[in-house]
Amino acid sequence: MGYDYYKEFSLFYDEFRGRNLQLLFEIPLQFFGFACNKEAGPFLDLGCGTGDLAIYFAEKGFEVTGVDLSLGMLEAARAKVDQKKLKNIRLLQQDIVELDLEPGFAYIHARETFMHFNAEQLEKVFKKCWRALKPEGIFLFEIMTPFGLKKFCNGVSNRTSNNCKYTINGIFNDIDNSAILNYEFLFTDGRQSIFSLKCSGHDLLQICPLLAGTGFKKICAFDLDNSLTFENGVLKVGLPSIVSDNTSSMMVCVKKELQA
Ligand SMILES: C[S@@+](CC[C@H](N)C(=O)[O-])C[C@H]1O[C@@H](n2cnc3c(N)ncnc32)[C@H](O)[C@@H]1O
């Protein structure tokens, strides 16, 4: 691979990442009536990053594979896996677009990963996932909409972590719903890192036919903005919807619909 820009993120990534791991997988599954159990088979996390979701499922007894392109992110994940002495998790460096794994996964998950792919790459990834799943396997992934990416690009954002101050300046392109995100990191030890990365927003109405064309069934979208609220520790679930101000959704689909 080229420059491992995610290595820079890995130095403080966990400070900013959302902590609600259930929201990333179990709640959307339950909402649409899919089971989540380790007896169904192994779990694959695509773009596993620093490993928290992969570890969460390994600790529940699943056989887990985490795939990521960034050695920096994988090193951070490996340190946690070793510290927890987990034996049922393997971490692999692979490009998801060229994913090369044995088939037989019961679950494939991806969160904040597919924004790195344009529609053509995404279609290729969907086909790879379809092949890697077992017949009743479930594919669940987060997708950022063009509206969400445009909103993210709206203005310069400054953030401070324990060891880094950083700025993100995004430029959205309405023609193909992509964006160039320009990052400037200034670490407390004086080191500076400047890089750009290209992201794509994906319209749910374009994603659904791509999934259907790949062969996926029962394609559902769970609106992450409007569907969930926690009040006094009680989870309230609203309706999944495709609304104009939706910034990101969890898509859930199955390789082959189960017979009732
Ligand atoms: C924003 S992070 C999300 C990490 C993790 N899924 C999470 O929710 O915390 C995106 C991850 O996707 C990985 N990634 C980006 N492009 C990739 C590719 N072509 N193949 C494999 N991993 C990739 C990055 O290295 C990074 O770890």
Structure tokens at 22: 């259930």
- Which residue's alpha carbon is nearest to atom 20 within ligand 1? 95
Angle at 20 between CA 14 and CA 21, to 5 degrees: 85
Which atom of ligand 1 lies closest to the CA of 110? 6
Q: Of 72-81, 126-135, 180-189, 226-235, which range is least confident?
A: 226-235
Distance 85 CA to ligand 1 centre (A): 23
Three-class secondary structure of residue 207 per DSSP: helix
Alpha-carbon span 74 to 7, nearest angstrom: 9
Q: Which of 15-19, 149-153, 157-161, 232-236 has the highest mean pLDDT?
A: 149-153
Q: Which residue has the higher pLDDT, 104 or 157?
A: 104
* Domain edges within the chain: 7-145+203-255, 148-199
Q: Residues with Cβ within 6 A of ligand 1?
A: 6, 17, 47-49, 68-70, 73, 95-97, 111-113, 116
CATH fold of 148-199 reads N-terminal domain of TfIIb (2.20.25)
Distance 47 CA to ligand 1 centre (A): 4
Distance 34 CA to ligand 1 centre (A): 25
Q: Quick check: 40 and 260 in contact, CB under 8 A?
A: no
Residue showing tokens 């987060």: 142
Per-residue pLDDT band at 178 (split at 50, 70, 90)? very high
Distance 68 CA to ligand 1 centre (A): 6
Distance 9 CA to ligand 1 centre (A): 11
What integer best gives the mean pLDDT of the chain? 88
CA 66 to chain centre: 12
Q: What is the pTM of this model?
A: 0.92
Q: Quick check: 184 and 165 in contact, CB under 8 A?
A: no
**70 pLDDT more than 90:** yes
- Which residue's alpha carbon is nearest to atom 19 within ligand 1? 95
Give every CB contact of residue 184 below 8 A, 6+ residues apart in sequence. Answer: 166, 167, 169, 192, 193, 194
Average pLDDT over residues 56-74: 96
Alpha-carbon span 64 to 81, nearest angstrom: 11
**218 pLDDT more than 80:** yes
- Which residue's alpha carbon is nearest to atom 25 within ligand 1? 70
Distance 124 CA to ligand 1 centre (A): 16
Per-residue pLDDT band at 121 (split at 50, 70, 90)? very high
Specify the pLDDT at position 228. 59
- Which residue's alpha carbon is nearest to atom 14 within ligand 1? 47
Specify the pLDDT at position 3. 75
pLDDT, tens digit, 9 for 90 and up, residues 27-49: 888 888 899 999 999 999 999 99
Specify the pLDDT at position 244. 62
Alpha-carbon span 196 to 63, nearest angstrom: 35
Q: Which residue has the higher pLDDT, 227 or 36?
A: 36
7-145+203-255 domain in CATH 3.30.1490.100?
no
Which atom of ligand 1 lies closest to the CA of 6? 25
CA dihedral (198, 203, 207, 209) positive or negative: negative
Distance 235 CA to ligand 1 centre (A): 28
**11 pLDDT more than 60:** yes
Specify the pLDDT at position 232. 47
